[in-house]
Every structure is written in structure tokens, then in C-alpha cells.
Amino acid sequence: MSKVKLRDIAQCRSGDKGNASDLSLFAPNEEVYEILKQQVTAEKVKKHFTGLVKGEVYRYEVPNVFALKFLCKEALGGGAPSSLRLDNLGKCFGSNLLRMEIEVEDEVLTIIDEARQGI
């Protein structure tokens, strides 16, 4: 079992709407998707964004594309027109989420590495 950052095994897209940040975390295959479902919970995402996300975090599963969608409420200092934050857009939340660490079986990491190398 190894501790890895999400950026090593997944991809993320994010955006914003008003005072909410919307993140979609994509797994490369069903096996990694199952790991993400177990380990990347709404509670862990809220904790990861401590100090930034003041409201609730909701998680939605999107199995047909191996994705988890997170809606982070009260995350942008009131939204673009009313925030005093330098960078209040939800687009930065994606790269920040990819810094979260989870534990993954070494065999799964080997499969991911081989797939990237085309083996």
C-alpha cells in the first residue's frame, strides 16, 4: 500500500458558479474509480479545503464516466463580484484537490504505470 497524490492517478476539472465551486474527479478505469469512491468522500474534501470552503460539500457519483462530482458551497468568498480574495475562481480548486493524498495498493499503481507507458 502506498500513499499517493490524486494527481498521480486521476484528472480533475473545476469551475465556479456564484459562491460555489464545482469539481469533477475522473478515474482512468473502473478499478481506480472504486478506490476513489471509497477514499475521496465529501467529508475528506471539505477537510482538504479547510479555510476555503465554509459551506457544505456534496458528492455525486457518475459511474458511466468513472467520475466523482463535488459541489462545494460557500467556497469563493461570496463570488466574483463581491469577493476580496485575489483568486476567487473555482478553477483553482481542481489543481488543489489533486494534491490530496490517498492510499492505493501497489499492484494498482503498477497497472496505472504500465497503461501510461503503453505496456
pLDDT reading at 88 higher than 80: no
On average, the pLDDT of the chain sits at: 88
Alpha carbon dihedral 70, 50, 86, 102, in 10-degree steps, equals -60
Between CA 98 and CA 16 the distance in angstroms is 17
Band of pLDDT at residue 80, cut at 50, 70 and 90: low
Closest among 64, 81, 56, 65 to 13, alpha carbons compared: 65
Can you give the pTM of this predicted structure?
0.86
Band of pLDDT at residue 39, cut at 50, 70 and 90: very high
pLDDT reading at 106 higher than 80: yes
What residue type is 63 in one-letter code? Answer: P
Q: Is 51 left (phi over 0), alpha (psi -120 to 50) or beta?
A: left
pLDDT attached to residue 108: 82
Band of pLDDT at residue 118, cut at 50, 70 and 90: low
pLDDT attached to residue 16: 84
pLDDT reading at 41 higher than 70: yes
